[in-house]
Amino acid sequence: MELFETMIQHTSVRSFTDQKLSVNLQEQLVLAAQSASSSNFLQAYSLIQITDTVKRRAIETIAKFPVDNGTNGQLYIFVADLNKHAQVLQQQDLSIEHLRTLESLVVAIVDTALAAQSMAVYAESIELGVCYVGGIRNDLVKMKELLDLPEFTYPVFGLFVGYPAEKNEVKPRLPITAILNTNTYHPFTPAMLADYDKRTTAYYLERNTNTQITSWSEKVRQHFAQARRSNTIDFLKKQGFVF
């Protein structure tokens, strides 16, 4: 399958076979992640591959995202990481004041996301399945303890990679006219929303598993009905960042 077709057929995989990723393939996945663009070549991220079954099950419990029996598929934790850079500055007796800023954290999170997506695209191009797991942020303190995370790090998400046992249907994306603007920002019109809600309602009703009576608008309302992970700022302050 050509790369473009692979990309537009992306869907999350939540069930993997027990076939293991070879050592060579695991290295290729990491090298693919490292090939991503990086702001000022800071490479401000780290990957933590979870091979310990007890830790993996603890992480899946935090994320409320169990996969098969806790062993199928490989789990990588993508960490925004400025600790390495702090070490560089400190070894030269330089100030780390500007490393603590929100902008520095944003740069690290962007670097992390780009690396993960490079891994994901490569994985799907060779017919592996992937699934991002933001639920690891449900308990940042526990994640810090499990992974021995130092100062100036932030676990952004997990990424499962493996041989898919089954795949979800491809979700209908927003129309290009709702995403692509020319020269200035254009509002999302009621007509666009009504049409998209109609399409997503049909998707949720007709998919093979976990059918629901819902729409994109309803999903948005549910997501923003309450504050989520309100302890994130406190965690990041304890990790050395200043807001």
Residue 212 lies in a domain: no
The candidate with the shortest Cα–Cα distance to 154, out of 40, 233, 63, 66, is 233
The domain that contains 119 carries what CATH number? 3.40.109.10
Asked if the structure places residue 90 within a domain, the reply is yes
- Does residue 202 form part of some domain? no
Contacts of 134 (CB under 8 A, 6+ apart): 63, 156, 157
- Residue 15 CB partners (closer than 8 Å, separation 6+): 67, 68, 72, 164, 165, 166
Residue 206 lies in a domain: no
Angle at 140 between CA 73 and CA 33, to 5 degrees: 45
Q: How many structural domains is the chain composed of?
A: 1
Query: If pLDDT is split at 50, 70 and 90, which confidence band does 1 have?
Result: low
**Is 205 within a domain?**
no
pTM for the whole structure: 0.95
Identity of residue 130: V
From CA 212, how far away is CA 123, in angstroms rounded?
29
**What contacts 148, CB < 8 A, 6 or more positions away?**
none
- Cα maximum dimension of the chain: 61
pLDDT at res. 180? 96
C-alpha span between 59 and 153 (Å, rounded): 17
Closest CA to 166 of 65, 21, 15, 18: 15
Tens-place pLDDT, residues 98-141 = 999 999 999 999 999 999 999 999 999 999 999 999 999 999 99
- Specify whether the CB–CB gap between 159 and 65 falls below 8 A: no
Residue 88 — pLDDT band, cuts 50, 70, 90?
A: very high
Residue 201 covered by a domain:
no
In a domain, 25, yes or no: yes
pLDDT at position 66, please? 79
Q: Is residue 197 part of a domain?
A: no
Domain span at residue 93 reads 3-170+229-238
Taking the alpha carbons of 74, 75, 80, 83 in that order, is the dihedral positive or negative? Answer: negative
Q: Residue 193: its pLDDT value, please? A: 95
